[in-house]
Structure formats: C-alpha cells, structure tokens
Amino acid sequence: MGAGIAQVAARAGYDVVLRDIAQDFLARGMNSIDKSLQRDVDKERLSKDEKRAIMARIRTTTDIGALSDTFIVVEAVTEEFPIKSEVFKSLEEVTSANAILASNTSSISITRLGAVTRRPDKVIGMHFMNPVPVMKLVEIIRGAATSDDTYEKTRGLSGKLGKIPLECQDSPGFISNRVLMPMINEAIFALHEGVATRESIDGIMKLGMNHPMGPLALADFIGLDVCLAIMNVLHDGFGDSKYRACPLLKRYVDAGWLGKKSGRGFYEY
Ligand code: CAA
C-alpha cells in the first residue's frame, strides 16, 4: 500500500520519499507504480511525459534518515504493534518536531501509537483503501491526543490527494474494518460449514448486493493474514465472542495460504 500512497501523492504534485527496509521491496513498489500509471497512459488519461514526471518525484531509499525534511510521514509497515512502535520511535528521532506522523494502519490503536512518541498530538490515522489509486476514501482516525491542527492538516492533504476524508474516533477496527471484517469472517464460516461453495457465496454477494467483489475474493485481495489480525484486534478490543475468527481462516494462514500475494487463498492465482 505504501507504493499506492506514494503514487497518489506524487501524482498530486508532491515530492515523495519512499522508504523501505530493502532494495527488493522498493523495486517491487516502483514496478507496481509503473504498471498502475501505465494503465492510465494506455487509456490516454495520462501522457508519457506526465508519467515520467510523476515517477521522477518519487525518491527511493532504505535510509530512514532520508525522511528528515518531510512535513508528513505516512507509515505503512506490517500490521504488528511492536514493529510499528519501533518505526514511530525512529520517525520521531529523524523528523522535525512539526512533522505529522500518520499511520495507514487498518486496526492498530492510534492512541497507543501516539503514546510511544513524545508528540502524540501529531500522530493520526490515515487509512487508505486498496487499490489506493482507485479508492476514494481516506478514513481519518483521531487518537486520544491528536490535535485539531493535525486533524485539519491531514484532512486538507487528503483532499489535495484527490481523496474524500471521513473521520472517526480511535476504536477497534475503526469503522471500515469493524463493519467489513465480520462480513468477510461470516462468509468464511459459511464456507467452513459447507453452506455454499466459494463461487456461490461470492456470486450471491456480488449479484445480490452489488458488491464489486465477493467477500472471499476480497479477503484474498486484502490478505488472509491481515484479515485474521484485524479479527483478533476486534475480538481482543471488544471482548465479544461475535468477533472470533473462523477456524478455517486460521488454518489457511497457518498453511501460508495468504491470498493473492502468496498465490493461493480461497482461490488460486
Ligand atoms: N491502479 C490503478 N488503477 C487501477 C488499479 C490499480 N492497481 N486496479 C484497478 N484499477 C482501475 C482500472 O484501470 C479501471 O479503471 P477505469 O474503469 O477508469 O478504466 C478500474 O480501476 C476498474 O478496474 P478493472 O476493470 O480492471 O477491474 P474491476 O472493475 O474488477 O475493479 C477493483 C477492480 C477496483 C479492485 C474492484 O473490484 C473493487 O472495487 N473491489 C473492491 C475493493 C475494496 O473493497 N477495497 C477495499 C479493501 S479493504 C482495505 O483496503 C482496507 C483494509 O484495512 C483491509
């Protein structure tokens, strides 16, 4: 998702530093940006020169120190609190005291992330949806200490990126995943219990509810490990058994069948 976020920011005219821990990941990210922009060139919605200029605005690096001059950092690392908290501590060290530290987390508490820094007022959730260049929403999450100034600047930036910002308070799963994930989990339970085939479950939701993808295909698209992590956050956060992850989802994640990114999930890719 980091690549998608870099792409929309560069397309909106911002200079972007794309930082990852290894060159391979950066190359993969730039490759996906190249492919995504090429769709628009092919459809004559973007010229080759504009595409080149957008890509030239993105500088890649493995050095976190290269983020020192940024006015906002959007973190999009693995959905694990210990990893995110280490990243936030490093970001606090390398960025200027005025820089906003935003997280693209899909379910980790913004209040907890803010509390690992000495500037929780500048920590906010900026939750983009996949595929980032296509989806209009940015869910903006205010932590307990997020200031109004940080919120207004983040909301303004989201608009400049061509997105529609919608606000919610910090609560497990925010709004998007509190509503989406139990639906996906229920679809997995239905498959697990043999109520219907994967094609039937997805077809019913696509044709009957006008969803662009069925819940099982969407789970594969999001990543089954991410789905499981979000269900666990909901279960722990609310302490309500209605959020228990389906055993079939756990089994697939244990098997390494993580969806589209691993070549197999509820479907084969
Ligand atoms: N980059 C740029 N453009 C892309 C793209 C990409 N990666 N993927 C698709 N597109 C564009 C296509 O160019 C096409 O554009 P036009 O119609 O303007 O020509 C348009 O999107 C539709 O694409 P396709 O025709 O190839 O395919 P589709 O109609 O099946 O749409 C989809 C693909 C947009 C992914 C659609 O299936 C969809 O909206 N799916 C649901 C996505 C969703 O729910 N996302 C949220 C997931 S939850 C999340 O991200 C957050 C979380 O915390 C888990």
Q: Are 208 and 243 in contact (CB under 8 A)?
A: no
Q: Does the C-beta of 41 come closer than 6 Å to ligand 1?
A: no
Compute how many other C-beta atoms are within 10 angstroms of the C-beta atom of residue 155.
17
**Residue 82: cis peptide before it, omega within 30 degrees of 0:** no
* pLDDT at residue number 265: 98
pTM, entire model: 0.95
- pLDDT single digits (tens) 181-197: 999 999 999 999 999 99
- Index of the ligand 1 atom closest to the CA of residue 32: 7
DSSP E strands: which ranges in 79-156?
Answer: 100-103, 123-128, 137-142
Catalytic center residues: 106, 127, 139, 177
Tell me the C-alpha distance between 262 and 223, whole Å.
Answer: 9
Ligand 1 atom 19: residue of nearest CA: 43
Determine which helix (DSSP H) or strand (DSSP E) holds 60, and give its type and residue range.
strand 58-61
Q: How confident is the model at residue 3 (pLDDT cuts 50, 70, 90)?
A: very high
* pLDDT at residue number 83: 96
Who contacts 193 (Cβ-Cβ below 8 Å, separation ≥6)?
none
Percent of the chain with pLDDT over 70: 100
- pLDDT single digits (tens) 107-154: 899 999 999 999 999 999 999 999 999 999 999 999 999 999 999 999
- pLDDT single digits (tens) 196-241: 999 999 999 999 999 999 999 999 999 999 999 999 999 999 999 9
Q: How confident is the model at residue 5 (pLDDT cuts 50, 70, 90)?
A: very high
* pLDDT at residue number 12: 98
- pLDDT single digits (tens) 159-186: 999 999 999 999 999 999 999 999 999 9
Report the half-sphere exposure of 109 (CA within 13 A, side-chain side).
Answer: 16
Q: Are 105 and 84 in contact (CB under 8 A)?
A: yes
Compute how many other C-beta atoms are within 10 angstroms of the C-beta atom of residue 41.
15
